[in-house]
Structure 1
Amino acid sequence: MQIIAPRWLIPIEPHATVLSDHAVITDHERIVQIMPLSAARIAYPSAKETLLAEHVLLPGLINTHTHSAMSLLRGYADDLALMTWLHQHIWPAETAHVSDDFIFDGTTLAIMEMIAGGTTCANDMYFEHSAVARAAVSCGFRMGIGCSILEFPTPYASDADGYIKKALASRAEFSGEPLVHFTLAPHAPYTVSDDTFSRVITLADELDLGLHSHIHETQDEIKNSLKQYGVRPLERLAALGFLGSNLVAAHMVHTSDTEIALLAKHGVNIAHNPASNLKLASGIARIHAMQQAGINVSIGTDGAASNNKIDLFAEMRLAALLAKAQANNAEAIPAWQALEMTTLNAAKAMRLDDKIGSIKVGKQADLIAVDLSAAATQPCYDPISQLVYAADRSQVSHVWIAGRCVYQAGQHLSLNTGETLNRARRWQQRIKKEA
């Protein structure tokens, strides 16, 4: 039994709530009580107490769109348009280097970065799904593993059928692992055929699997869809039956009012990636209009190769500021709503809101503490506003995942930092040499 006693507690539910001098009591992986600290000390006199005198305690942040292993390609091909970046640099590098070892090492590096920045769960999309799962399990990290599906060959599979078979095999291999689950991730409308989308939809329905895909990321994607199919990508996917509450649609930068209504009608979840969208000049998503329409909007970082940080504190602030400018409304996406986008909204998108996303009795103890004692976050009138607009990931002091402390005072407790960094450097030397 453990008492975690911060100065401020932000449970996320109810909206915009801040509790002072309250404690969270955990027992193994679960939250068992939330109560005033004075009462907690009486009720649990033998519990271990973690006193956080100048800290906020909140749910762990959740990254709803990333390609973790691409951390090994951070900075490899910067300042390029998306299709140039993909076709001339990223895909050739992946063809040359992606392997089980590459994926494991790159995913571990990304997890190391995410944990230190207060992220306790990620919605991934890449290859070598078993390697991603092994990395997550070995680090004690919560992960949704999106199994990429494409029509064209890569070193991982030769066609859509091969990708699907490997996805299902990896899912079976890790059945019962509490921290990982699998989703089907057809890469994008421009890399997946109608027949493959139909097969994916059938499998998702049969096996109750989530879906994860890049959709409406660029104007070129939409122009090419109109040329090839006669309709915009979202209309094509709606006709196929791909839109639903089990779908996380990454990016959704270019949307009409009609398309926003269509997304809302089908309960589609959006993974907004503000930094990557700006860096690749993809555009600015209409997230305020989406939220006004009742769409569940969460935040992702995309991969480190196109961001170049896996930093949800930075994304939260950017998302809130961009929304205000894009909507011409300073009240768009207030701080509490930006924080919900990286916690409860993200948990809903991943269909994990019964387990994580808020501090609530019975949920998993995925928690982070943020130290607000630094000059940059003083004075503190509103800790929610301070977290979104002033704090940064370096102020994360403690991270718990399923009740286990995996990070404290700058030290990782669930992974070998030296070995992880050494492996990353060896990959950098190899990739640079063979470029």
Structure 2
Amino acid sequence: MDTIVAPITPVIRSAVTVLRISGADSLRALALLKKQGGGTFSSLEPRMVYHALYDDGSVRDDVVFWYFKSPNSYTGEDVLEISFHGNPLIVRSAVSSFMSLGIRFAEPGEFTRRAFINGKMDLSQAEAVEEMISAKSEAGLFYSYNQLKGGLKTQIQNLKTLYVDVLTVVEAYIDFPEEDLSDRELHYITTKYERIEAELKELVKSYSTLKAVNDAVYVSIAGRPNVGKSSILNCLLKENRAIVSDIPGTTRDFIDADMTLAGHPVKIVDTAGIRRTDDYVEKAGIERSLERVENSHIVIVVLDLSAPMTEEDKLVLRKTADSKRIVIGNKADIKRYSHMTDIDISVKTGMNVHEFMNILENLISQEDSQIHEHAIAVNERQKNGFQRMLASLEEIRIMGCDDLDALSFELRDSLNILSEITGETYTEEILSNIFNSFCIGK
């Protein structure tokens, strides 16, 4: 394979930028690296850090570099990593000079692709590299790291063992067709099927978990006009994002903003005040707000403690009755009425705001409450494979054990799917679909 080069840190003005060179001819780059006292590097000791002068004839830089000898590197090839001062002009010059030595610029994900091809990781672990980089929450990092360390690989190996156990019995009876499966073998096979099905369903279910922890939690703020919804949004964001006014209907549509709470990405939505109105524009905004409320993971319902309960308050409570919600009473500093709430606060004075935030963060954390129950969560490609295997199990259940040849075919087909997931068998199309989504340098 070609020797390749690419920056493995962002090419921006920064303290340092690191270039990685991987391949059998990676040491060609030494032609541009000189010892500080003069002279060339004739031999390198792996994993040692060297100080050098980079000089391509037009650009010079003091650099440090290190060498990983095959197969003990990220890609499994000879690898040279060079740390330059973080000026994009230096990096572009260095890349151009290395390419003039016959070293090719790397394609997206090519370093990790080579790590997979060279047996440094299986395909599920390679996918975890990109998922770890793209994770938007601590929980997403947790799942991706466990998969990178071989969590899914181990689980797939366990599934393979179960399938091989069943296939061994089935093919033994295919070889001796005069024998019928005994009740003991039938019970053995049925027990294995139940274990396989349970594990596959958990793996498919975990896809939703991974999607949830990497997608934002939607939190909507709902209530009638002038209860303090916009003030609560501003309080959560610690900035004046929404207009605060005593005029009913000020917020005629929803306003949303992104933030992080409890280590999770959160989108806060301040909805239009819910009330009866003849204003066409405001009415349309209220209808859109109700849709947002219904589709939210968590709803903050705001009631006004300085005013009696209204029909509009009751409407909001009815609309959110089946939602995961926090009912708060605002304006506790001028409280005149008691409503059924989870907590009373005053955004104006800060009364109980910290306690309200704790309640909200606990609800958000419940989205990740099963984080340690399952070690891994699968991506869409893997989920689709496991769903195909579940469909095959259903076919097996329908046919029973009357046609052992068909049963053997279904079992082997499922084993092939497992091999596709780990990358023991793969096509160029599969690899391209996976690695083309990677960034340059990974």
Is TM > 0.5 for Structure 1 vs Structure 2? no
Considering only CA atoms, is the larger Rg found in Structure 1 or Structure 2? 2
Higher relative contact order (CA 8 A, sep 6+): 1
Question: How does the TM-score come out when normalised to structure 1?
Answer: 0.28
Higher percent of residues as strand: 1
Question: How does the TM-score come out when normalised to structure 2?
Answer: 0.28
